[in-house]
Amino acid sequence: MKKVMGIGIMLMVMLVGCGNDEEVVQPEEEPIEQEEAQDTSTDDPLEFVNKDSEYDTLIDAANEYEILNYYVSDDTNEQGFNIYEDGDFTMRYALVETENIADVDAKGNKEIQILGEIINDTDQDYNFDENRMFIKTDDNEESSLNFGLNGAWKADQKSKFIDSFPLDYDIPDSFTLTLIDPSLEGDGDDAVFGDDWDRKFDEAFEEFKEEHTVKELEFTKE
């Protein structure tokens, strides 16, 4: 009897010992994947202003722009673009209020910018001097293109552009955009006034404007 009890006690001790020696296997933890932040900046003006794109910052040399507001007209499509066509000449453009967010002297500056693309499949230049495309704000301030669309209108060329309408007063809620036929030979001043620059926007120019205006659109903040 004592022998049986002894064997029983030994078995219990062995079982307890085995239980204490067992390794507890912890389930392996899944590695946490870190999602990389997507870069939403671009140097392409069409990607920047297209409402269907994921880009919200335009890199232009040392400047970085964000869109504060779109300006829209009866011609503006769902992507924010307006189209001007004349035979084999096509200009696609958007008008926006932007703010410069780069760490430069111009940081915080707001302006009306025009961005887009010109496809000129003709053998002639389409001029965009200061008297061909200009705006008049709801506060009666007039402004012409700053850089003449950067030469994007030259013959037999496809090119994108970034330009602006400089203003001395506040950014307007609305403005009228006038486009005088850019296919006319010579720039607007020489074609109408010769060297008499003081006659700009006088009666002669108003007659020229009335005869050759191809677009006159009201734009308002969306």
Tell me what percent of the residues of the chain surpass a pLDDT of 90: 66
CA dihedral of 57, 61, 62, 63, whole degrees rounded to 10: -40
Indicate the average pLDDT of the chain. Answer: 85
Domain boundaries, the chain: 41-221
Q: Residue 46: helix, strand or coil by DSSP?
A: helix
The CA-based angle 113-135-162, given to 5 degrees, is 25
The two three-digit tokens of residue 82, written as one number: 């307006």
Q: Residue 187: helix, strand or coil by DSSP?
A: coil
pLDDT at 163: 97
What residues form DSSP beta bridges with 91? 84, 118
Q: pLDDT by residue (tens digit) across 107-120?
A: 999 999 999 999 99
149, burial (CB in 10 Å: exposed 0-12, middle 13-18, buried 19+): buried
pLDDT grade, residue 197 (50/70/90)? very low
In contact, 161 and 149? CB cutoff 8 Å: yes
pLDDT at 198: 52
What residues form DSSP beta bridges with 143? 135
Which of these, 206, 182, 180, 177, lies nearest to 193 by C-alpha position?
206
Residue 32 reports pLDDT greater than 90: no
> What gap in Å lies between CA 179 and CA 154, rounded to an integer?
17
Kindly state the average pLDDT of the residues 117-141: 93
Amino acid identity of 96? V
> What gap in Å lies between CA 180 and CA 9, rounded to an integer?
109
Is the pLDDT higher at 68 or at 197? 68
> What gap in Å lies between CA 86 and CA 209, rounded to an integer?
18
